[in-house]
Amino acid sequence: MDMKIGYFCNITNWKKKPYTEILDDARDIADYCDKNNWNSIWFTEHHFNHEGMEVQPNPLMMCTDIAARTKQIRLGQACNVITFWNPIRLAEDIAALDQLSKGRIEVGIGRGVYGREAVHMNIEADLKDQAKNKRLFQETLEVMKKAWTKKFFSHKGEFYTYPSPNFVWQHDMSPPNEDFVDLKTNQIKKISVVPHPYQKPHPPLWQVVDSTGSIEWAAKNGINCIMWIPTVKTLKKRFEIYKNAKSEAEKRDVSMGEGISLVRDMFVAETMEDAKKLAGEQMVNYMRWVCHWRGLGNHMDPDEELPKTKGKLDLLNYDFLHKRNMLFGTPDYVVEKIKELKSELNLQNLQVWSSMPGVKHEDAMRSIKLFNDEVIPKINLEKTVVKQAS
């Protein structure tokens, strides 16, 4: 099976360019990937980021714009932070976009990682209460699935109740129907969302995951996974957790790598030095932003211990990152690193990005074109044998 390649288009604006310019840069990438038969492009959701690291608040709006400009590429969100949204509004918007694009949507979902965003977008999503945030996430998704798959539905939960209790509906052009009203009182019993998705029963779902618990929950609930930072050795353990949980839930032998997409930071150049020169500092700078909260734990091999340092990010530099998870270098170097992912993980879905905060657009496009012309053909040329866990 050929590996599916997607572009992870995390829109950034570290250099404070006019917003219309960064939108045009994203459109340029999407147009190129569409014309060169990439499988997908993915946009992110972030809020209040005046610093410029992540500046796209609505991936669905971005996907809608790109849907109108492209022919075949699939349109993903990595992710919609569903705890920030009203579940019915989000279900409607996704279904409408799926109809507009005639079924090109991949739906990414997540709980949120930044407290500044969560507490201001929905106080119920406050990340200081992780258990409550998780319950909100699960209930929101439950409502969305009902809205997509049932002609009429109702819901009563901790956070949402649909329809609103005791609401009377009478209209001369809406014939009384026991499917949605109590014929004696005319109180609404169920509601209906329009439209339903183009894809049935709904578009593919992808959850951005980090923890073992999230990986297992996604597998048991028929949801695909998106992973990002870890080393190959750590990813192997996470892939196995997903495979085992999904196999148990679906009572079949799920193959390694099935249902998982991996994001990797990628910059292809003519030489190893050029890759570092054109995007290395920018990638490290972005990781300083991410690791301020996460620390370096996600970058470590299983059972690895890092040297003690005064500051938690003192070890964070280009060489530390490069050997662990970066696809930075010549085409041949990047090909070998991806072949390792195929061999160790049976990786079937890869998302890459080159447009890190501060990287010049023309340099990012050059990297993407080199990846397209000199990496993709080679990684799908030969079949690799997946190494079994010891």
SS (H, E, C) 78-118: CCEEHHHCCHHHHHHHHHHHHHHCCCCEEEEEECCCCHHHH
Q: Determine phi and psi for 143, rounding to 5 degrees.
A: -65, -45
CA distance 271 to 278: 11
CA 380 to chain centroid: 23
Domain limits, the chain:
4-150+197-379, 152-191
Q: Determine phi and psi for 225, rounding to 5 degrees.
A: -125, 145
CA distance 148 to 88: 9
- Condensed to tens digits (0 to 9), the pLDDT of residues 300-311 reads 999 999 999 999
pLDDT of residue 380: 82
- Judge contact between 232 and 345, C-beta under 8 A: yes
Sequence-separated (6 or more) residues with CB below 8 Å from residue 283: 265, 267, 318, 321, 326, 328, 356
pLDDT of residue 382: 56
User: What type of residue is 219?
Assistant: A
Pairing of strands 155-156, 161-162: antiparallel
pLDDT of residue 387: 54
- Condensed to tens digits (0 to 9), the pLDDT of residues 21-73 reads 999 999 999 999 999 999 999 999 999 999 999 999 999 999 999 999 999 99
pLDDT of residue 294: 83
CA 234 to chain centroid: 19
Residues of the chain with pLDDT under 50: 384-386, 389-390
CATH fit for domain 4-150+197-379, picks 3.40.50.720, 3.20.20.30, 3.30.200.20, 1.20.1440.230: 3.20.20.30
pTM for this entry: 0.95
pLDDT of residue 309: 93
